[in-house]
Structure 1
Amino acid sequence: MTLRSRARSLTVVAILLAGAVGLIGSTQTWAVATLADGDLPVSGGIAVPVLQPLMLTALALGLVLTLVGRLLRYILGALAILVGGAVAVLSAPLIATPPLSAVAPAVTERTGLAGAEAIADAVQDVASTPWPVVTLVAAVLIALAGAAVLATAHLWVRGGRRYTTAAAAPRDERASLDAVDSWDDLSRGDDPTR
């Protein structure tokens, strides 16, 4: 495997893998709020509402990187850094002690209470799970893979070029046409009767 194909494969796989892990993490329990009537699990999608769209963006970036030319690779690499950075910034505060704002939508849905003071009175404790850390690692991997795209994009070979065909050579008008040649002309979109 050459450096060109290895750099491309590693960065694309890293972005896809990290995006998938982050998307799975968004459905898992990130925090557990202790209320008077029991524990309330809060998923990553509730704690960080933009987590799922950002991880879907990372997955799309990974797939599109396999198809685009050099200029768009640089743009998508920079976008991957931004997506990874945004997810890291949004998930880092939930690692140690999640803020009440992360569990507020779930508490409001369960108790009907709204407002910062009412939620603060209802929540006795908030504990974190390992999923914010897992998602933070995935976000860092996305950002690093985006940086690798920026560093190696000039080495990549465009994926679609191996499937293009050379233009057909003009045929000699004096040569006789047989049935196969006529069908080939029709397949290319040429009218063999002209």
Structure 2
Amino acid sequence: MGHLAYIFQRRNTILIIQVGSVLLLISTALTWVTATGLPETAAADELGLLGGEMSPTVRAMGLVGVAGGVAATIARKWVRGLIGAVLLGAAVISLIGAGLTLLEPAATAAPALAEYTGTTDPAAAYTPGFAVWLAILGAIMLLVSSLALLLFSPGWSDERTAKKYSRGRAGAENPDEIDLWDDLSDGDDPTARR
């Protein structure tokens, strides 16, 4: 468990969250399924259906992942747990959406295909593309990193971020630059003590 905690430090975990979320977003802009042998009412015989058209929830979960990754960088311990739970849900929803496309491409492509063809007649063949695998990879990365956020973020130190965005302690024993500036703002000249 110690090695995993070392691997999933704050920086690494947030990076994996962001990369997984961006992969989800990129995959939804690419072709998930190519439908061939379209009905006669269609203008073409072949049509590439984008991930965003087939599963808009995956795109939304990618946005949730990006926002959650940013929020986790500045959040405190218990808030990171909430963010981790939300990201875990987003990862599961994304994994289900992309997985169903691989398992049942005809069923998941039917609504988007009906918009293009104007009919509910199915195509002759459906071929999942590389972008679906990209979405699955992104969802797995988001899943693993959200679990890491839930498990290991309570052990992350909040001192550095807390110090950076909060006021120092007036009259601290071992003052740093922030404490000295805060003392000066309060009317106490730190050079007078020397």
Output the TM-score relative to the length of structure 1: 0.76
Aligned residue number for residue 156 of structure 1:
156
For residue 105 of structure 1, the aligned residue among 105, 111, 120 is: 111
One-letter code aligned to 2:95: A
Distance 1:154 1:68 in 2: 11
One-letter code aligned to 1:42: L
Larger radius of gyration: 1
Q: Secondary structure at the match of 2:136?
A: helix
Q: Check conservation: 2:92, 2:139, Cα contact below 8 A.
A: yes
For residue 26 of structure 1, the aligned residue among 7, 25, 28 is: 28
Aligned residue number for residue 131 of structure 2:
131
Deviation of 1:107 (Å): 2.4
One-letter code aligned to 2:112: A
Q: How does 1:47-62 map to 2 (within 5 A)?
A: 47-62=54-69
Quick check: which one's helix share is greater? 2
Q: Secondary structure at the match of 1:95?
A: helix
Aligned residue number for residue 192 of structure 2:
none
Deviation of 1:4 (Å): 7.2
Q: Check conservation: 2:8, 2:148, Cα contact below 8 A.
A: no
Deviation of 1:149 (Å): 1.0
Distance 2:34 2:78 in 1: 45
Q: Structure 1 residues 5 and 138 mapped into 2: Cα distance closer, same or farther (>3 Å)? A: closer
> For 1:80-103, what per-residue CA distance to the aligned partner results, in whole angstroms no more than 9, with x for missing partners?
211111111111122255123x22
Q: Secondary structure at the match of 1:165?
A: coil
Distance 2:152 2:11 in 1: 11
> For 1:102-145, what per-residue CA distance to the aligned partner results, in whole angstroms no more than 9, with x for missing partners?
223332332222xxxx322xx11111112111211211111111
In the alignment, structure 1 residue 82 sits paired with structure 2 residue 89: yes
Deviation of 1:24 (Å): 0.4
**Superposition RMSD in Å:** 2.4
Q: Secondary structure at the match of 2:29?
A: coil
> What percentage of aligned pairs have identical amino acids?
20
Distance 1:54 1:22 in 2: 8
Q: Check conservation: 2:80, 2:149, Cα contact below 8 A.
A: yes
Alignment: residue pair count:
166
Q: Check conservation: 2:18, 2:65, Cα contact below 8 A.
A: yes
Q: Secondary structure at the match of 1:85?
A: helix
Q: Check conservation: 1:97, 1:127, Cα contact below 8 A.
A: no
Gaps of 5+ in 1: 170-183
Distance 1:110 1:5 in 2: 46
Distance 1:85 1:5 in 2: 22
Q: Structure 1 residues 141 and 6 mapped into 2: Cα distance closer, same or farther (>3 Å)? A: closer
Distance 1:53 1:135 in 2: 13
Q: Structure 1 residues 156 and 111 mapped into 2: Cα distance closer, same or farther (>3 Å)? A: same
